[in-house]
């Protein structure tokens, strides 16, 4: 697996476009971006405008993921891979098995099995890279779990805020993730989401907060200093791993 630094210089993003993928990859590369989620595995390369979605969940082991990617992209002609992983990553190394997927991830040599050079970061960090617009930005991903990353003056710091204690012996993710939404209902879930956004923004002294993940769309009114980021920014971040950090 290719080695990566824990922090990386992030370039503020330009205006988003619906077909940004071909415009962000270097002309001599065809980058495959793998966004590993608890609900779907999303694949896109430099020559596609829309991602391919493959259902994931607890049955998606690392071995199965490799097989799915091989089968889906064998005709794509990719030259390198960026992967966003739903767990802690340091120096390109996975530190823990994912909470919402099957096993086998930390021991998998993805570069060897997929046969291409690969750069791996936390999935929230990858989306944060594609969402960054300067200053001090906190990214929070409201999806199956809770992703988080902080970028300060262009330097990316992947974070693991999801499993910090929040209340009643539960974590931030217990309240803001999909299980919290199902247990609490939308109204109470929203109350806790807003409380947690405010807490983390103040604690990390963020100039602004960008929200990603599929459940961010449930927030119709946003507090000052909070904005929605497009889920496609994860792919922009994946392309940036190779175009901006050679």
**Chain segment 119-147, per-residue pLDDT in tens:** 999 988 999 999 999 999 999 999 888 98
Please state the CATH superfamily assignment of the domain spanning residues 21-126+233-243 in this structure: ATPase, nucleotide binding domain (3.30.420.40)
The reported pLDDT for the residue numbered 243 is: 81
Residue spans of the domains in the chain: they are 21-126+233-243, 134-228
* pTM score: 0.79
- Residue 49 token pair: 């405008």
Give the model confidence (pLDDT) of 217-232 as tens digits. 999 899 999 999 987 8
The reported pLDDT for the residue numbered 12 is: 60
The reported pLDDT for the residue numbered 132 is: 92
* 134-228 fold: Nucleotidyltransferase; domain 5 (3.30.420)
Average pLDDT over residues 64-92: 95
Q: Which of 8-17, 145-154, 181-190, 191-200 has the lowest mean pLDDT?
A: 8-17
pLDDT category of residue 214 using cuts at 50, 70 and 90: confident
Give the model confidence (pLDDT) of 93-123 as tens digits. 999 999 889 999 999 999 999 999 999 999 8
Domains 21-126+233-243 and 134-228 share a fold: yes
């Amino acid at each position: 697996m290719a080695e990566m630094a824990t922090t990386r210089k992030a370039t503020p993003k330009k205006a988003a476009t619906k077909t940004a993928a071909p415009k962000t990859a270097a002309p001599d590369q065809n980058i495959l971006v793998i966004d590993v989620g608890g609900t779907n595995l999303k694949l896109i390369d430099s020559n596609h405008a829309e991602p391919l979605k493959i259902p994931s969940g607890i049955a998606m082991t690392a071995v199965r993921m490799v097989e799915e990617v091989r089968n889906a992209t064998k005709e794509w002609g990719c030259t390198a891979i960026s992967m966003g992983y739903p767990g802690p990553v340091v120096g390109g190394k996975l530190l823990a098995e994912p909470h919402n997927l099957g096993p086998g991830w930390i021991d998998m040599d993805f570069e060897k099995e997929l046969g291409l050079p690969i750069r791996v970061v936390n999935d929230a960090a990858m989306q944060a890279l594609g969402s960054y617009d300067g200053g001090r930005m906190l990214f929070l991903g409201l999806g199956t779990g809770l992703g988080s990353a902080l970028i300060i003056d262009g330097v990316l710091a992947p974070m693991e805020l999801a499993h910090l204690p929040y209340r009643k012996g539960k974590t931030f993710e217990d309240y803001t993730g999909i299980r919290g939404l199902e247990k609490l209902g939308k109204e109470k879930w929203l109350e806790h989401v807003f409380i947690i956004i405010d807490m983390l923004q103040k604690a990390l002294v963020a100039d602004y907060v960008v929200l990603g993940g599929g459940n961010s769309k449930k927030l119709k009114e946003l507090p000052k200093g909070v904005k929605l980021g497009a889920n496609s920014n994860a792919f922009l971040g994946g392309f940036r791993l190779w175009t901006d950090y050679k």
